[in-house]
Structure 1
């Protein structure tokens, strides 16, 4: 039963269709007491139909139900019999849906419409005013209260899910950064092995060439050194290649460009961080390493704001492509720590700058921007909060 309930939660059309069918069956059970069976049957079948789409099209569904309620009152007056279609309780369901899924403002407007419908019913059918007012007040108050409760629970669940998604995202990012750092270390080791071995071999080969005729023993010794150096280098290369072959971390780079930036910003918004994003210029045709650098700077800066900027933080992200570079600026109104200093930082400064914890923080951003040939500035804003500003060249000169 629990599995079926969880399955229905993800299929609102199916659940609402079952509710509509239940309303029809209730009306069919009492149809024998009606004089105008055909009219009653038509309303009993038509009224529950908007309930099926109440969560997919809440405003339209609510408006149609209110219109059907008014038409039912007018028809009851014309045929001289109060139809009393049980399915008309769906107007209360519509009120609940508007408050829970759309907003209180729409719910209040709809409640005014229901009051007008109740007044019209009393005017045309001359029912007991006191009884009608008491019943409708209790019924609509119950619908509104239930919507407030479930709406708050739904918002809480959504926020928790968003925060869990951010936490998972942080863990995946940390794992990816750890793998990248390890691969960078292996790359440095490979460079050291190859550069050292080749340098020794070249020098010894030149020496052996000149000593081949004049000093055969020296030439032989140089050749032995070349062979030994080559064997050592080959052994080290094999060891390093084994490390690379046993690395099973998947190569899943983030989606770059405008789509990737929008995804990061939307994720932070879902978690409760107010973010404004401004992108100007063509950002989707830059080099992959530049695009990745922009993505990582925005990602790390917003994560730092989300973690350390205090209650109700707000951030602004500006990515502007200029003639020769891309300007990335992320600022916030938080009360986090100040810029990185040369002296030993305070604990909160260490957290803000990524020295403590698992992230690379500003240190990693500085290294990434430096590799791309750019410059990064980070620190407190005069008006309060924190700013990270980076300029990344579109064309990077590789130093020999």
Structure 2
């Protein structure tokens, strides 16, 4: 469709150029032959019309059209039809070549037009024209050629701007997709850490309550109260996480847990029936919030795995070592020594590995030589911490 519109507009332009050229040829041609000049006649009009035909294909074949237009115009000049010949078709075609072809081709077209003009002027009666007349023709040729080149450069500049805008839009879309994927991954890690830990604790407490329900109702009530407390904690944390996903609701903002909350986490695991000890070594200093949260989640995941897989009677030891330029956190147990019964890393350890790697840390997880399982991470700290 665009090609049809281009062809139609060029055809209309060719008709307009032909009408203008014939008008100039007839009106400004010599009325009487003088000094070898010929008066306008049918042959001259035919040559003028023939020179205008290639304008209809100026954008499709600009170079061939220029050559085809220059031949009749050169013949008009050589046959002595006078200086009144407008040469509009040649100018239009020279402009088209400069606009739609590269610099080398455009320079070749300018050189060709100038050469044919000089040849026609020297061979025909127009050799007697003054220097100012020839200079005017040269100026017109250069001006038309320069206008065509200017348009081409402007068009190329606009295309570059469009291409750059498209690239920026694609890059922005890619960054947006990456950010969304990272945010989904972060939310998935948070949900897993919260749900897996609290549900595991509630499951163990519910199992214990069921066993002592008939024999020790008071102990069963304590277990049920612990389940209720754990459930409320899980709901509160889940509301904080899910709240960021809703545009029409405000999340209940609160401080994220960190290594300072490990004593309460250890106490919760003890209430769930897991013998747990906390050991802190070194002098605690300022720890970045992200590293602090990652360390807490690592301990939470390690204790949850111990509670689920280490077996009855297992003991877990949480060790936090504050060293110059490093935070070392580990969770070790003396249970069956299998962090995952299937032998495949679960989503929890995968999420913890991503958290640790995000802050430049190193994670190691696997069976201990003397039995049991250990999860350990070392986080580098800046400014000597």
- With the shorter chain as reference, the TM-score category is 0.3 to 0.5
TM score, norm. by length of structure 1: 0.46
Larger radius of gyration: 2
